Amino acid sequence: MGIVRYCAKLEYLGTNYFGWQRQPHSEPTIQTIVQNALSQVAHHPVSVICSGRTDRGVHAKGQIIHFDSSAERTIKNWVDGVNSLLPDDISVQFVHLVDKDFHARYSACERTYQYVILNQLQPSALFANRACHISQPLDIEAMKQASQCLIGTYDFSAFRASGCQAKSPIKTMKNIVIERQENIITFDFKANAYLYHMIRNICGALVAIGQHKHPPEWLSMILQNKNRCLAPPMLPACGLYLTQINYPDIFKIPQ
């Protein structure tokens, strides 16, 4: 059969893990657990590459990975076998055969993240570690107005965390949608790529505007000044979800 390349879609809750990337010690990570499960099904060591590494406590609805294997397994064997070995907070949604030139990270053209805020006076046990709780009222219209200045191709250094390894701070934000449904506010960001902690930093600034600490125009000033020190602290990891990765149609990756 030879070596074949597959892609797979993962869902996970990041609460119990030290992020995606395998750690030098014994800390549990998503990558380590998924690789171990795939290796057991394949009966040989399997390494996985992801579309984008998520930090400790960050969740995913649509993480895409690719891996190579010489094992003769059906798609159903891969999905059912791996899921039977994974903990309840990690699951494989599909496995798909791809060309050898497909790369989960470098072939991606768009990445969508969602940040979730529980906006009510008291915290909710049902949303613990799954949303950021903010007790003060938030002006969603002010946040929507402010967010529009971020759409386009800009230097996002003002929202770049220290330790960011990106070669360039220039990214293209394609769309931002902010919605409220009862006490849940969601921020959906679609871009070609992101800087380290970029979404959590942007959301921190938007919340400050939603609390009327600053006017909507303040966000544009921060963006233009490219100074991280001017922006407020980032929001916690628990509200962030990697929701979708888009690829060129030539790869025929399922959604």
Do 66 and 128 lie in one domain? The reply is: no
Which is more confident, 21 or 146?
A: 146
Do 27 and 54 lie in one domain? The reply is: yes
Point out the domain boundary residue: 82, 107, 132. 107
Do 201 and 179 lie in one domain? The reply is: yes
Which is more confident, 56 or 162?
A: 56
CA pseudo-torsion sign 116, 165, 244, 188: positive
As a whole-number percent, the residues of the chain with pLDDT over 70 amount to: 100
- Give the model confidence (pLDDT) of 92-143 as tens digits: 999 999 999 999 999 999 999 999 999 999 999 999 999 999 999 999 999 9
Instruction: Give 1's pLDDT tier (boundaries 50, 70, 90).
Output: low
Catalytic residue among 55, 68, 89, 188: 55
Say which CATH number the domain at 85 has: 3.30.70.580
Q: Tokens in use for 34?
A: 């998924």
Query: Does residue 140 fall inside a structural domain?
Result: yes
- Give the model confidence (pLDDT) of 221-230 as tens digits: 999 999 998 8
Do 88 and 136 lie in one domain? The reply is: no
Q: Tokens in use for 33?
A: 């657990």
Do 120 and 163 lie in one domain? The reply is: yes
Query: Does residue 249 fall inside a structural domain?
Result: no
Say which CATH number the domain at 192 has: 3.30.70.660
- Provide the domain limits for residue 17: 4-107
What are the phi and psi torsion angles at 167 (to 5°)?
-70, -30
Query: Does residue 61 fall inside a structural domain?
Result: yes
Point out the domain boundary residue: 74, 107, 140. 107
Q: What is the mean pLDDT of residues 65-78?
A: 96
Do 126 and 233 lie in one domain? The reply is: yes
Do 38 and 134 lie in one domain? The reply is: no
Active site residue 101: no
Do 36 and 73 lie in one domain? The reply is: yes
Do 138 and 225 lie in one domain? The reply is: yes
Question: In this model, does residue 55 exceed pLDDT 70?
Answer: yes
CA distances from 66 to 35, 102, 116, 172, 175 (A): 11, 8, 28, 25, 27
